[in-house]
Structure 1
Amino acid sequence: MSGALSGLLVADFSRVLAGPYATMLLADLGAEVVKVERPGAGDDTRAWGPPYAPDGEATYFLGVNRNKRSIALDLRADIEVARALAARADVLVENFRPGTMDRLGLGYPALRELNPGLVYCSITGFGSGPGAGLPGYDLIAQAVGGLMSVTGEPGGPGTKAGVALVDVITGLHAGLGILAALRHRDDTGEGQHVEVSLLSSLLSALTNHASAYAAAGVVPQAMGNRHPSIVPYEVFEAADRPIVIAAGNDRQFQALCKALDRPDLAGDPRYATNADRVAGRVGLVAELNAALAARTADEWFETLTAAGVPCGPINDLAAAFALADDLGLEPSVQLDGVGQVANPLRLSATPPSYRRRPPRLGEDEDWVREILGR
């Protein structure tokens, strides 16, 4: 079965996470992705370990590079091969510091002359203007972009997300921009330059927090696991371990009180509406914790779920994968002996496919040079 993007050739000049994540998603949907890497070293993440897979490969690299081919090119000595690949490609993705590709003769203006239909995607940390010289690291973006200021406990130093979330979000935005540009090319035959930055992607992804500032001038603060606008919507303590409860409306709050055998809380005028509950958060949370202490998190998970109350224990990744398996979501696949996290998309006609394990450095040089006539 052909993928939705079968027949597209993607020249992937990116490395680490945002770009490789975007190009892997395109590859899962059928695109042929050629990963261009540094001779001798390759993508930085090939050396980012531990942990390592049983054969010694870094799991970081393996997580975002399946379904790709690899060629090792010195972009100065092998510039003509790189230009030939760009001339043949439908899409080019790069995340070098702004200006680098231009100096190499591989910038968008030069390649547009060579390949007018090329969709050229540049991923930067802070844009190509005054922020061009700033280092595009996820941790830096989380810090200066405000995410750390709303993560962690009140009054704390600021806490990063447990994964390079800004890189992932930026990769998703890059993929969306590429698909939009391809749709435009279908209509006009013209490619275009797609630009996406870590900072802009993060500000967009901060959604309600960013909207609070943009629309009302409110600067949100860290609240730990609590929600600024909904109560109860946080972590509670069951008899054995924490459990998350997210009662987002009056009906769910009333169902929660009934399941906890505390119908009096639902009838208390101090907690009648969500706004009332936000104002009375401290007292209400104390009452709920006292009731939840009577049973284990798993017992409450079963009881509250049956009552229609959104909740769940705090799982580690092993338990999270087990839950996804139990729910029939098929969260992982084996690809030539390499464990992979499954693509989350479910398409009825053109589903993602798993055709090729993450490549070893330069292993497809002969194939790439053959299709380029080099």
Structure 2
Amino acid sequence: MANILSGLTVIDITQNVAGPFCSQMLGDLGATVIKIERPGHGDDTRHWHPPLWGGESSTFLALNRNKKSLCVDLNHPDGQKIVHELVEKADIFIHSLKPGSEESRGLGYETLSEINPSLIYAAISAFGDKGKMKNKPGYDPLIQAYSGIMSLTGNEGDDPARVGVSIVDMATGMWSLIGILSALHQRNQTGKGCKVANSLLETGVAWVTLQLSTYMASGNLPRKMGTGMATTAPYEAFRTKGDQWAIIAAGNNRLFKNLCAALQMPELVEDPRFESNSVRVQNRKELHRIIEECTLGYEVDDLVNLMAEYNVPSCPINTLDRVLRDEQVNALALIKPVEDFRVSDFRMVDLPFRINEERGNLQSLPPLLGEHTDEILSSLNYPKETLEQLKSKSIIG
């Protein structure tokens, strides 16, 4: 894993979540990532707290390992010149600047691809780089609302609810990574770079693919389903003792029969209201009531174990403290402790895939603001006197 992208250099002008998640994964795969930040301020997520972890933003720490921090004022011609010099030798350039503002800073695709024709140029925006909303700023909850995700989240009758994780932001980072890796494959064949464009809105609309297809087929707007799914039942959460919850997903007739056997309710299999998935969907509420009357008699772990005996997919609804302690999560070694870091008891969530049983490569831990400015610019043959002059003008930091 450490060598997959080694030798590649990434210039990263992103902040918040989507772009940094993308560039962190490139670093995990072995690329050298130079994160360009504003002097004196840095990535906005450095200031997203509480909580602080060892005096630093836990959000920043989660998204910025395997990077070097270089502070440059992109609004100053001398700062733009530094980026141009870095781009000459870079392989990938990622930015999340508002469409149009990158060009005003001399960082547009046409300019940088002329400097380096083999450059993979990746642009991440909120609403895309076309249309009347292209210059509007956007964050994860705005796009969850605008793309329709929020209209589908929660229980029927509830106020609008955001999906609890930054699903649009992080998926945008993933889609950008997929685009970049595809572009690298093309470059290996042609020697030419290209532009990869992705936006939070495109990601949000992609997430509702199934619901859009259902609406286009039926003309009926999907409604909020809580933990359930509109096309199959029972496929949702059920209460257990102690106000705990378990998900039971009996997604076909065989699994429904197994569920009924486990709960000692074989009569449900022959009940005309529940004899096939289509009628179970129509009678979902009554089916849920009958099953939950039974599940309330079980401790959540006992119920999940019973489902396992009968090969019915099920699991508890875990809180994050249970996730950290979970035997299966720990068997996968996904949450990795890190020793000898300035933040004590630091742990990170590793790459969620393995190649030949290896996950990502921890080249370096999240950097302090401007930690590598002198190192990077010295590699570009900037003399010490010039560095001091640029610092005195706050062009670098």
TM range (shorter): over 0.9
Residue number in structure 2 paired with 1:273: 276
Mark the CA change 1:244 to 1:349 in structure 2 (over 3 Å): closer, same or farther: closer
Residue number in structure 2 paired with 1:308: 311
Query: In structure 1, how many angstroms separate the alpha carbons of the residues matched to 2:133 and 2:91?
Result: 29
Residue type of the alignment partner of 2:75: R
Q: For 1:35-184, list aligned pairs within 5 A.
A: 35-53=35-53, 55-77=54-76, 78-129=79-130, 130-184=132-186
Residue number in structure 1 paired with 2:187: 185
Deviation at 1:119, TM superposition (A): 0.5
1:246 pairs with one of 245, 249, 271: 249
1:344 to 2:352 alignment: yes
Deviation at 1:57, TM superposition (A): 0.5
Residue number in structure 2 paired with 1:284: 287
Q: Could you tell me whether the CA contact under 8 Å between 2:30 and 2:363 is conserved in 1?
A: no
Is the partner of 1:70 in helix, strand or coil? strand
- Unaligned runs of at least 5 residues, structure 1: none
TM-score when normalising by structure 2: 0.91
TM-score when normalising by structure 1: 0.96
Count of residue correspondences: 373
Mark the CA change 1:244 to 1:317 in structure 2 (over 3 Å): closer, same or farther: same
Query: In structure 2, how many angstroms separate the alpha carbons of the residues matched to 1:14 and 1:251?
Result: 49
Query: In structure 2, how many angstroms separate the alpha carbons of the residues matched to 1:283 and 1:161?
Result: 27
2:361 pairs with one of 353, 362, 373: 353
Residue type of the alignment partner of 2:85: A
Query: In structure 2, how many angstroms separate the alpha carbons of the residues matched to 1:106 and 1:360?
Result: 25
Q: How far does the alpha carbon of each residue in 1:251-298 deviate from its partner, in whole angstroms, 9 at most, with x for none?
A: 111111101011111222221111111011121111101111221111
Q: Could you tell me whether the CA contact under 8 Å between 2:3 and 2:29 is conserved in 1?
A: yes
Mark the CA change 1:229 to 1:90 in structure 2 (over 3 Å): closer, same or farther: same
Taking only aligned residues, the RMSD between alpha carbons, in angstroms, comes to 1.5
Query: In structure 2, how many angstroms separate the alpha carbons of the residues matched to 1:183 and 1:291?
Result: 54
Deviation at 1:372, TM superposition (A): 2.5
Mark the CA change 1:136 to 1:349 in structure 2 (over 3 Å): closer, same or farther: same
Residue type of the alignment partner of 1:101: E
Residue type of the alignment partner of 1:294: G
Query: In structure 1, how many angstroms separate the alpha carbons of the residues matched to 2:198 and 2:319?
Result: 32
Mark the CA change 1:270 to 1:325 in structure 2 (over 3 Å): closer, same or farther: closer
Q: Could you tell me whether the CA contact under 8 Å between 2:144 and 2:168 is conserved in 1?
A: yes
Query: In structure 2, how many angstroms separate the alpha carbons of the residues matched to 1:221 and 1:319?
Result: 31
Quick check: 278-287 or 112-121, which moved more? 278-287
Residue number in structure 1 paired with 2:215: 213
- Unaligned runs of at least 5 residues, structure 2: 383-397
Deviation at 1:207, TM superposition (A): 2.8
